[in-house]
Structure 1
Amino acid sequence: MSAPSSTRRTRAHDGSAVAIATSVMNVATYGFTMLAARIIGPSEYGAFVACLNLLVILQVVALGLQATAARRIAVDLGNVATIEGAILRTTTRVSVAVGALLLVLVPAVDALLNLDSLTTAAVVAVAAVPLTLAGGQAGILQGERRWGALALFYVAGGVPRLVVGTAIILWRPDATSAILGVGIGYLFPLVVGWWALRHRRTPESVAAEHSARSLLVESAHNAQVLFAYFALSSVDIMIARQVLDDHDAGLYASGLIMAKVMLFLPQFVVIVAFPDMATPTSRRRALVRSLLLVAALGVVMVVAARVLSGLAMVFVGGAEFGEVEDLLWVFAFLGTLLAMLQLQVYAVLARQGRRTVVLVWAALAVVVALGLRTDSVIGLVSVVVAVDAVLLSVLTVASLRLAREPEPDPATG
C-alpha cells in the first residue's frame, strides 16, 4: 500500500529542511577554510589544515555515538527516555576521555603535526570535547526524527564558525586562532541540542540492553566501520603524493574537489534515511529509495561536469589546473560512488552487521596495492573508481538480501 500523499509531502519537507541545513553548513565550513587560507597565509594555513584533519579523524567517535543513538531510538521507541539518558551520560564520559587523552598527548600531537606550538595542540584537544558531545545530541534528534531541530543543529555547526572564526583570525591571523574559531564553533550546536532536549522525560522502564557498556561497544564498532570508510575515501590523495609528481598530484587533488562536492551534496539523504534503514519493516524500501535518489543526483552532476566542464573548473582551481578538465566527469562519478557507498556503510551500521565491514577494509587494501602501481592521474582515478564500483555492487547485493530478513543476525551482517 502506498503512503498517503500527506505523509509523502511531510517526508519531502523533512528531507528538504535537512538538505538545506547541511548545504548551509558545508558552504559555511568551506567558506571559513578558504578565508583562513587567504588571511593567515600559507605557512600557518598548513598547520591549521593539519589540525583540522586530525579533528576530522576524531569525528568518527562522534559519528559512532550518533549512529548508536539514532539506531537504538529508531528500533526501540518504547524506551526512548532510557536511551536518551544513557546516550547523554555515555557521550559526556567519552568526550571528556577523548579531551583528556589528547591533552596528555599534546607534545606528541605537536611533534606529529609539526606545529611548533603546544598551545595549538592544546586547543585541538579542548575542541575535541564539544565535537564529540555533539554526536550524542545529533543522534537522539535523528533517531526521534526531529528534523526541524536537527536542521537548526546543522546550521549552527557551520554559520557561527564562519562568523566567529573569521572575526578571530582577523584579530589574530595564525593557526591557533583559526583552530580556536573552529572549537568555539562547535559550541553552538551544543546549545541547540541542549535547548531541543531540555525537557528530560522519565524513563518508561529499566532496559538492561541499553547499558553504558553496550552503548560503548556498539559505538566503538560504528566508529571502526566509519573509519574504514573514511580511509577508503581519502587514501587516494595520499597515494597520489607517492606515485605522481607534484604537478600531477596537484591535478588529482583538484579533481577530488569535484568528487567531494558530489559526496557531500546528498549527505541529507543518509541522515533522513538512517532511522528507517534501522527499522526492520522499512529498511529495504528506505535503502532502495535512497540509493536511487543519490544515483539520480549523481547522473545530473556527471552530465553537468561533462557539459559544463569549463564552468566547473572555476570551483576546482581555475585555468592553472586546466589539464584535469576532461576528467572532471570521472571525478564526479567517483563522488557518486562514494556517496552511494556511504549509504551502504550506514545500512551496515543500521543492521549492526559485523562481517560486511571486512569488505571495506579489503577494498582499501586493494586500492593501495593497485594504486601504488599507477603513474598517471587517469590511471589512479580509474583504479579507485573500479574498486569502489565493485565494492558498491557487492554491498548492495548483500544489503538487499539481508534487508528481507526482519531480524538479521549481527554476527553475519
Structure 2
Amino acid sequence: MTTTARIAESRLGRLLRSSAGIAIAIAVMNVGTYAFQIISARLLGPPEYGAVAGMMALLMVLSVVQLGLQATCARRISADPEHVAVIEAAVLKTSWRAAGVVGVLAVIASPLAWKLLHLDGPLPAVLLALSVVPTTVMGAQAGVLQGERRWLPLSLVYIAVGAPRVLIGAVFLVASPTETSAMLAVLVSSWVPVAVGAWALGRHERHPSTVSESEIRRDVLHETIGSSLALLAFVALSNLDVVVARSTLGEHHAGLYAGGLIVTKAVLFLPQFAVVILFPSMSTDGESRAAVLKGLGFLTALGSACVLATYLLSDVALIFIGGKEYAGVQDRLWLFAVLGALLSVLQLLVYAGLARRGVATKYLVALGVVALIGLGSLASSVTSLAITVACVDTAVLVVLIALQMLRHRADAESTPAA
C-alpha cells in the first residue's frame, strides 16, 4: 500500500469515527432506502407501487419498538457508562423478546393489511410482518453503539440498512416486478444490519458490573414502552397518510400520492443525522435549550431550501420519484417537500421530549394522528389530502414548540442563580 493510500485510509477512518461519519452513513442509508422506493416506483408503476409504499409505511409503524429501544439504550448508556455490559445484555434480551411478540402479532394481523391495502395476495403482508423481527433487534444494537459513541460501527450498521436494500431489491424486482418480490427483498436485506451489529458488539470488551440485570431490564422495558409510544405516534403521523390515500383516493391517485411522498421522505430524512448528534445535548441540563434552538434553526433553513429547490426544479424531482407516470403530481411536489420539512422539525421536537422524559408529547402527537385519519378520510384528491396533512402537522408543531418553551422556562426557574 502506498503512503498516499495509507494517508487517505487514515483520514477516512478518522472521518467515519467522528460524528460527521454518522451524517455520511445516514445519508448513505437514506439514499439506499429511497433508491429502493424509486426503483420500485419505476418497475411497478403507480398502482402496485402504491401498495408497496403502503406496506413500507406500515413497516415503519410496526418498527416503532426498534426506535424506542434505540432511544432508551442510548440515553441510559450515556447517563450510566459504568454499567454498559448489564444495560447491553438487558436491552438485547428485551429486543429479541419484543421482536418475537411484535412479529407474531403482525403475522396474525397480516390478513387485515392484505385487505386494507388491496394487495394481490396475503404473502406480501406476511413478509412485511416477518421483517419486523430483524428491524427491532437492529434498533437495540444501534442504541448500544450510539450510547457508547462508537461512531464507526454505528455508521456501518446504518450503511448496512440502506445499501443491501437497494441492491437486493433491484435484483429481485428485475427478476420479478411484483409486490411479493419487493417485500421479500426488504425481509432478506433487513438481516444484514443485524449481522453487522452482532459482529461489532461481539468484538468489544465489556467490564463486569455489580448491578442486577433483571432490575435494569425492568427499567429498560418501562422506559422503552414510554419512548415507543411517543415514537409510534410520530411514525403514525408521518406514514399513515399513504394508507389513508390508498383507502380513499383509488389506486391510481393513491399511487401518485405515494410518489409525491418520496419527496416528503427525502426531505424528512435528509437531516436525520442532526437528531442523532443533538440527542445527547438535548438530554443534558444546561445544554437542552441551546441544542433545540440550534436544531430548529438548522432544520427550518434546510427545509425551506428543499421546498424552494423542489418548486424550481420540479422536472428533476419528477425523475427522482419515478418519471412520466407520475407527471400528474409534478406541479404539487413542492407541497410534499413542505410536508417533509414540517415532519423533520416535528421529529426533532419529539426526541427533545424523550430526552427530557416528557409525558405530554406522545399525547399531543397522538391527537394529530387522530385528526389526520379523521380529516384525511374526507379528502377527495391528492391536493386536498396533502393540504390537510400539512395543516395537521403545522398545528401539532406549534403546540410542541409552545410546550418546549414552557419546559425550558420551568428548567430555568428551577436552576439556582450562580
Q: TM-score, normalised by structure 2?
A: 0.81
The 2-side partners of 1:155 and 1:369 are apart by 37
**Cα offset for 1:371?**
3.9
Counterpart residue type for residue 57 of structure 1? V
**Cα offset for 1:195?**
2.4
1:134 aligns with 2:150: no
- Look up the match of 1:62: 66
- Look up the match of 2:199: 195
Task: Map 1:297-316 to 2 at 5 A.
Answer: 297-316=302-321
Between the aligned residues of both structures, percent identity stands at 43
> Is the deviation greater in 111-120 or in 360-369?
111-120
Structure 1 pair 180–308 and aligned structure 2 pair: CA distance change class (3 A): closer
1:151 aligns with 2:155: yes
Task: List alignment gaps of at least 5 residues for structure 1.
Answer: 1-9
- Look up the match of 2:76: 72
State the Cα RMSD in Å: 3.6
Secondary structure of 2:233's match?
helix
Structure 1 pair 166–237 and aligned structure 2 pair: CA distance change class (3 A): closer
- Look up the match of 2:293: 288
Secondary structure of 2:350's match?
helix
1:232 aligns with 2:237: yes
Task: Map 1:31-180 to 2 at 5 A.
Answer: 31-36=35-40, 51-102=55-106, 123-169=127-173, 175-180=179-184
1:341 aligns with 2:360: no
Among candidates 196, 221, 224, match of residue 216 of structure 1 = 221
Structure 1 pair 164–377 and aligned structure 2 pair: CA distance change class (3 A): closer
**Cα offset for 1:398?**
1.5
> Is the deviation greater in 243-252 or in 177-186?
243-252
8 A Cα contact 1:81 1:200, kept in partner: no
- Look up the match of 2:22: 18
The 2-side partners of 1:384 and 1:104 are apart by 30
8 A Cα contact 1:62 1:131, kept in partner: yes
8 A Cα contact 1:70 1:140, kept in partner: yes
Task: Map 1:267-278 to 2 at 5 A.
Answer: 267-278=272-283
Structure 1 pair 366–116 and aligned structure 2 pair: CA distance change class (3 A): closer
The 1-side partners of 2:114 and 2:319 are apart by 35
Structure 1 pair 12–185 and aligned structure 2 pair: CA distance change class (3 A): closer
Structure 1 pair 268–207 and aligned structure 2 pair: CA distance change class (3 A): same
8 A Cα contact 1:341 1:392, kept in partner: yes
The 1-side partners of 2:258 and 2:176 are apart by 29
Per-residue deviation, residues 243-301 of structure 1 (Å, max 9, x unmatched)? 65766655544433322221111111112222222223322222221121111111211
**Cα offset for 1:307?**
2.5
1:258 aligns with 2:251: no
The 2-side partners of 1:408 and 1:385 are apart by 35
**Cα offset for 1:11?**
10
1:386 aligns with 2:391: yes
Structure 1 pair 203–352 and aligned structure 2 pair: CA distance change class (3 A): farther
The 1-side partners of 2:382 and 2:179 are apart by 32
**Cα offset for 1:71?**
1.6
Structure 1 pair 208–284 and aligned structure 2 pair: CA distance change class (3 A): farther
- Look up the match of 1:6: none
Secondary structure of 1:279's match?
coil
8 A Cα contact 1:79 1:207, kept in partner: no
Counterpart residue type for residue 84 of structure 1? E
**Cα offset for 1:65?**
0.9
Secondary structure of 2:207's match?
coil
Per-residue deviation, residues 293-314 of structure 1 (Å, max 9, x unmatched)? 1111112112212322333232
Structure 1 pair 406–207 and aligned structure 2 pair: CA distance change class (3 A): farther
The 2-side partners of 1:236 and 1:55 are apart by 14
The 2-side partners of 1:308 and 1:39 are apart by 23
Structure 1 pair 45–384 and aligned structure 2 pair: CA distance change class (3 A): closer
Structure 1 pair 88–362 and aligned structure 2 pair: CA distance change class (3 A): same
Task: Map 1:313-324 to 2 at 5 A.
Answer: 313-319=318-324, 321-322=326-327, 324=329
Q: TM-score, normalised by structure 1?
A: 0.82
The 2-side partners of 1:379 and 1:23 are apart by 31
**Cα offset for 1:196?**
2.1
Structure 1 pair 209–402 and aligned structure 2 pair: CA distance change class (3 A): farther
